[in-house]
Amino acid sequence: MRLAAIAAVIALTLVIAACGGDDDEASSDTRALVTFAKSGGVAGNVYSLTVDRGGGAQLTTYPSKIKKFNIGADKRDELTGLLAGGKDFDSNYESKTPVADASRYSITYESKTISASDSAELPDTLRSLINLLDGIVEDET
C-alpha cells in the first residue's frame, strides 16, 4: 500500500512538472542571453549586466556591489527582438573625434561582441538596444 501511495505522489509530481508550460521552462534557463558593460561618462562609473534567457539578471557595480533581480517577460521579449535584429552589427563603433566624457559599451550575445561609444554613429537598432540595457542598469542602481 505504501509503495502505491509513493508511486502516486511521484506520478502526480511528474504530471504537474510536465504542465509547467513555456514560462516555467524559460525561467529556469540560466544561460546568458546578453552581457552588457558600460564605463566612462561624466561620473566614470563602471557597470556589468548579465541577463539570463530565463529573465534572471545580475548587475555588478564596480568595484564590488552585486545585485540580482529578474527582468519581466515584456522587457525580455523586447531585448530578444533587438538582439535578433542586430545580426549585421559591426564589431566596433567608434567616434570620429574623441569625446572626453563619452560612455563606452560592450555587448556580448551569441558569441559576438560589439564595442561602441555613445558619441559614435550607431544603427537605430543598436542605439535602441543600448538604451534598453542602459535603462535596466539605471533602474537597478
Q: Give residue 105's domain range.
A: 29-140
What tens digit of pLDDT does each residue of 42-58 get? 667 799 999 999 999 99
8 within domain boundaries: no
Residue 27 CB-density burial (10 A; 0-12 exposed, 13-18 middle, 19+ buried):
middle
Structural domains of the chain, count:
1
| 118: pLDDT strictly greater than 90 | no
- Which residues neighbour 101 within 8 Å (Cβ) at sequence distance 6 or greater? 40, 41, 42
Query: Interior CA angle at 68 toward 132 and 75, to 5°?
Result: 30
54 within domain boundaries: yes
| 9: pLDDT strictly greater than 80 | no
113 within domain boundaries: yes
122 within domain boundaries: yes
pTM (two decimals):
0.75
Residue 28 — φ and ψ, nearest 5°?
-95, 0
90 within domain boundaries: yes
Tell me which of 13-27, 31-45, 98-112 is least confident: 13-27
| More confident of the two residues 11 and 137 | 137
What tens digit of pLDDT does each residue of 80-99 get? 999 998 888 999 999 888 77
Per-residue pLDDT at 74:
92
Distance CA 51, CA 30 (A): 9
What tens digit of pLDDT does each residue of 58-75 get? 999 987 799 999 999 999
Read off the pLDDT band of 19 (50, 70, 90).
very low
Per-residue pLDDT at 13:
27
| 36: pLDDT strictly greater than 60 | yes
7 within domain boundaries: no
**Greatest CA separation found in the chain?**
80
